[in-house]
Amino acid sequence: MTENANEPTYPDDLRYHAEHDWARIDGEEATFGITWYAQDSLGEVVFFDPPDAGTAISKDASYAEVESVKAVSDVISPLSGEITEVNEAAKENPDVINSDPYGEGWMVKVKLSNPSEVDSLLDAEAYKKLLTD
């Protein structure tokens, strides 16, 4: 099991939720995951337990759990919609959530029910500022 030893990264093409989740927006669809800060705070992720495809999820509400050796954390949905795909590879090997939180460590793909909610999310600069405040 490896852990991401890299410096903190917060890609500019993503939008962020203050509860340390990211969304990659593609029209009315989006991919969600947790940020570098979130995986670093948790430590080595050993369980990722997402709901099934087809589940409706709501902005600001928990939709999944991630569990590290030491702690459990709810994963908060940055936007509302219906899950269209779950990252089965991350369920099998949750350490990709540490090693590649914005790539292989993605969690779910979602069909957005209210794309205008995107406006309420933070950009990378605002999220980084939140972390340093």
Determine which residue in the list 2, 52, 92, 119 makes contact with another protein, applying CB under 8 A.
2
Beta bridge partners of 31: 24, 109
3-36 burial, b if ≥16 CB within 10 A, otherwise e? ebeeeeebeeebbbbebbbbbbbeeeebbbbbbb
| Contact between 130 and another protein per CB under 8 A | no
| Contact between 132 and another protein per CB under 8 A | no
| Contact between 103 and another protein per CB under 8 A | no
| Contact between 61 and another protein per CB under 8 A | no
| Contact between 70 and another protein per CB under 8 A | yes
Give me 94's structure tokens. 């949750």
- d(Cα 74, Cα 112) in Å, to the nearest integer? 20
CB closer to another protein, 7 vs 119 = 7
Q: Which residues bind another protein (CB under 8 A)?
A: 1-3, 5, 40, 43-44, 46-47, 65, 67, 69-70, 72
